[in-house]
Amino acid sequence: MHTLTFLTIGQAPRPDLSEAIEAHLPVNARVRHAGVLDGLTRQEAELRFGATAGRATLLSRLADGSSVTLDAEAVGAGLQTRVDQMEDAGADIVVLLCTGAFPGLRTRRARLVEPDVLVTGYVGTVLRGSRVGFVVPLPEQVTEAREKWRSVVPDPAFTTASPYADNEAALLAAACTHLEAGANALMLDCMGYGARHRRSLRAAGLTVPVLTPGAVVGAALGPLLD
């Protein structure tokens, strides 16, 4: 029986992020949840992990549902601390609930599942040759996203829409911008985008493939746990 920990960069649990992955897990998998910001007030979280001007940023949520913008480097250090703790607690698989890149993150013995690696590989192979439109949460994340997806051909385009907005109007506008520019596939590049965002785009009449990280990770991880 596998012991699997879902690790968010915000506060746990985040069923909105993990549900697409959990749908692919065997029924006997033992699942736990942890977050970098667990136990912290908003003030404490922003003091220790808050976004810094000119540095890479990430977007997540606190337990009260409010969003918080974080410094990617500080989050990386916090993730390593949590990974070590999860391994000490018996986790043999740790699944990050973030599509950010954390190249220094390591486990001692547990399998580490990084959506960034899985999703970039999937898009680079399955959608090779497609004109892909990428949606990221924040305008300040576009520079890092361009670097992340630099190998995609034809050159990818980027728009922004928060996955934590009260409705999907901004996401629909971002998607339509891509379609009007000739995109024939969409990649919603944040774990915060899930099935409800995809359903909203389908309900609005979009028919192109819409990829969300959770669905990609779940499809890749499930067979390994059978």
Q: Which residues pair with 157 in a beta bridge?
A: 133
pLDDT band at 200; cut points 50, 70, 90: very high
pLDDT of 21 strictly over 80: yes
**Predicted confidence (pLDDT) per residue in 26-52, tens digit:** 888 899 999 999 999 999 999 999 999
Q: What is the pLDDT of residue 24?
A: 85
Mean pLDDT (whole number) for 203-211: 96
Residue 208 C-alpha from the chain's centroid = 21
Q: What is the pLDDT of residue 226?
A: 67
% of the chain residues with pLDDT over 70:
99
CB neighbourhood size of 128 (10 A): 10
Q: Can you list the domains of the chain with their CATH numbers?
A: 3-114+216-225 (3.40.50), 118-212 (3.40.50.2300)
Q: What is the pLDDT of residue 224?
A: 75
pLDDT of 99 strictly over 70: yes
What is the reported pTM? Answer: 0.90
% of the chain residues with pLDDT over 90:
85
Mean pLDDT (whole number) for 4-23: 94
Among 169, 121, 126, 186, residue whose Cα is nearest residue 148: 121
Give the list of residues 6+ apart from residue 161 with CB closer than 8 angstroms, or none: 135, 137, 168, 170, 171, 173, 174
Q: Using CA atoms, how far apart are residues 58 and 72, in angstroms rounded to an integer?
A: 6
Q: What is the pLDDT of residue 213?
A: 95
Q: What contacts 24+ positions apart, CB below 8 Å, involve 150-157?
A: 151/124, 152/123, 152/124, 152/127, 153/128, 153/129, 156/132, 157/133, 157/181, 157/183
